[in-house]
Amino acid sequence: MPVELPRPLQTSSLREQQLLFANHLRNPVRHEPPPGIDERRLAVYRELFFNNISNLLATGFPVLRSILPDTQWQALVRDFYTEHRCETPLFPFVAGEFASYLQHERAQADDLPFLAELAWYEWSEIALRHADDGDSDGEMAGPVGDKPRLSPLCWPLAFRFPVHRIGADYQPAEPPAQPTCLLVYRDAAQAVRFIESNPATFRLLALLADDALPDMAAVTAQLAAELQHPQPQALRALVQDTVAQLQSAGVLRVS
């Protein structure tokens, strides 16, 4: 007597089952599991999926993880896991989705005031580590009088809080009067580093990118006018010194 084989699930039915399963894993309180699955197996999957995401984010955000108690960290990851829909299939870039979620989607009054900024700072290290080199093999030095350009592997980042100093022993409740300006960059040895900067240097970098200013003399003159600097000669020397230091670090490159 021939054995009757089970019929394969229809595509729509399979997708329906997958969505039911995924929704339940994300939020078992809100979504019932697919019928016919043993609860003990479901519990294993729920724990496995959540722990994978939690461990992945803990690796990407070591400072943030270190200053949050376990219960707060797990609640934060749970909210992200439940509410956000990741678009990237690449594990390293889930950290970017987490940082974006904290900055644009999450609104919790009892969160640390620097939470989103700290996450964005930590994410920038991951992002730069995986950034495209572009033309990073180009010449790294040259006469200071040439107008250089900002390396594509250097990102000027401004924060309300001094995120590079936050840790177990320093967690400010209010931002200081002056913003924190950081140049986060990847050096020739592929290590991600940062330089603490200031708004004037950030403006200098923006002027260097302005095609309407053809050379360093025009850049310096524009900066002096904007700052209303009382000693243009002193500013010119300061700009030359700053540009030389940034070129030496690989932050600026000759055009």
pLDDT of residue 44: 85
pLDDT of residue 69: 96
pLDDT (mean) for 62-75: 96
Average pLDDT value for residue range 231-250:
91
pLDDT value, residue 134: 59
Q: What is the mean pLDDT of residues 159-185?
A: 96
**Residue 136 vs residue 73, higher pLDDT:** 73
Confidence band, pLDDT 50/70/90 cuts, at residue 90: confident
Residue 143: the pLDDT is 41
pLDDT above 60 for 140: no
Mean pLDDT of the chain: 87
Token digits of residue 15: 């997708």
Predicted pLDDT of residue 68: 97
Query: Which domains are assigned to the chain?
Result: 12-130 (no CATH), 135-255 (3.90.930.50)
Least confident of 55-64, 104-113, 121-130, 158-167: 104-113
User: What are 157's strand-pairing partners?
Assistant: 182
What is the per-residue pLDDT for 176? 96
**Structure confidence at residue 3 as a pLDDT band (50, 70, 90):** low
